[in-house]
Amino acid sequence: MIERRHPEWIKVRAPASPEYFRTRAILGELRLHTVCQEACCPNIGECFSHRTATFMLMGDVCTRNCPYCAVAHGRVRPLDPDEPRRIADAVGRLGLSHVVVTSVDRDDLPDGGAAHFAATAAAIKSVVADARVEVLVPDFKGAHASVEAVVAAPVDIYNHNIETVPRLYRTTRPGGNYERSLDVLAHAKASARGSARTLLTKAGVMLGLGEELAEVMDVIADLRRVECDILTLGQYLRPSKEHLPVARYVHPDEFAELRKDALAMGFRHVESGPLVRSSYHAWEHVA
C-alpha cells in the first residue's frame, strides 16, 4: 500500500513556546516519561505549551508489541517505587487541576501494575487534593482484582481504550481482546457503583486502519451498552514505516458526524477529530 501525504487538516506547528520548553525541563529533571513523547503525539506542542502532559508509568518499554504503537517493546525494568512521588511533584509544579496518568503494558507483573496506579493517584491527591485524576489503564489481562484496586484508589475517571473494531484486533492489537476490554470498562463502572462512588468511564477509538463505518457504530453502541460516559475518536497516524500503514485519512466532517451520532446515543461527552487523542483537552471532557 502506498501511503499518501498527510492532508492539510493533519498538519501542526512545531513547538516553540517558552512554556513548552519549561514543561520539558520539569519532566526531564524529575526523570518522568510521558506518552506525549514516547508515542510521538502530534499535540505535544500544544499540550506542553499549556503546561500539561500525560504521564506514563512503569518505564518506557512495553511487554506487548502492537504494530500501530510507537512505544518501545522488549525487556522491562523493575518498578520505581519513587515514581508516584515524582509525578505528584510534577503535578504541583505544573499547577495541574486535571491529571492524566497512563502506562505501558506490564504483563510481567502479577497485578499488571494496578497497585502502582493506585499509589500514584494517592500521591497526586496528597499534593493537590482537589485535582481530578484520570487513569488510562491497560486491560490487566481482564483481572477483575486489578480493576477493583484502581477503582478503589482516589481516581475520578477510569479510561481504557478500545482502539479499533473487533475484526482488526488480530492485526492491530494481537495482545488484546475486544470483549475483555469491554468487560474491564463494565467492571470498573460496576465496582464504583457497589461502593457508592461516582466514577466516569472513558474509552478511545482510532480510525483509519481499515474499519468500516458500520463497524465503528457497532463499537460505539457496545461502549454505551457498558455505560461508558466519555468517548474519544481520532485519526491513526503511522509513527514510522515499520508500523501499520494508514488505510485512509478520515475527513473532519466525518468526525463531526460521528460525534453527533455518539452524543445521540447518550454519551456525556464526545471528543472527535483528526488530531484527537485520549487525553487531548481531557480537562474539558468533564466540565
Bigger pLDDT: 221 vs 241: 221
Beta bridge partners of 207: 235
- The rounded distance, in Å, linking the Cα atoms of 41 and 84 is 23
Q: Within the chain, where are the H helices?
A: 18-29, 35-38, 44-49, 83-94, 114-127, 144-151, 169-172, 178-194, 213-225, 252-265
pLDDT class of 215 with cuts at 50, 70, 90: very high
Terminal Cα-to-Cα distance of the chain (whole angstroms):
42
Q: Residue 43 corresponds to which cell in the numbers above?
A: 499535540
Could you tell me how many residues make up the chain?
Answer: 287
Q: What CA–CA distances, in Å, run from 105 to 41, 58, 64, 79, 222?
A: 18, 9, 6, 12, 24
- The rounded distance, in Å, linking the Cα atoms of 3 and 162 is 25
In this structure, what DSSP letter does residue 163 have?
Answer: B
pLDDT class of 51 with cuts at 50, 70, 90: low
- The rounded distance, in Å, linking the Cα atoms of 32 and 193 is 33
In CATH, which of 3.20.20.70, 3.40.50.2300, 3.40.50.720, 2.40.50.140 is domain 29-284? 3.20.20.70
Phi, psi for residue 40 in degrees, rounded to 5 = 55, 45
pLDDT of residue 120: 98
- The rounded distance, in Å, linking the Cα atoms of 10 and 63 is 30
Q: Which of these, 159, 93, 97, 150, lies nearest to 125 by C-alpha position? A: 97
| 96-132 residues labelled b (16+ CB within 10 A) or e (exposed) | bebbbbbbbbbbebebbbbbbbbbbbebbbebbeebb
Q: Which of these, 238, 242, 30, lies nearest to 123 by C-alpha position? A: 30
pLDDT class of 43 with cuts at 50, 70, 90: low
Quickly tell me which residue has 478503589 as its cell: 152
Bigger pLDDT: 222 vs 37: 222
Average pLDDT over residues 206-226: 97
Given a contact cutoff of 8 angstroms between Cβ atoms, the answer to whether 277 and 234 are in contact is yes
Bigger pLDDT: 87 vs 28: 87
Encoded amino acid at 208, one letter: G
- The rounded distance, in Å, linking the Cα atoms of 200 and 230 is 8
- 162: pLDDT strictly greater than 80: yes
- The rounded distance, in Å, linking the Cα atoms of 76 and 113 is 13
pLDDT of residue 2: 45
Which range has the worst mean pLDDT, 21-25, 170-174, 258-262? 21-25
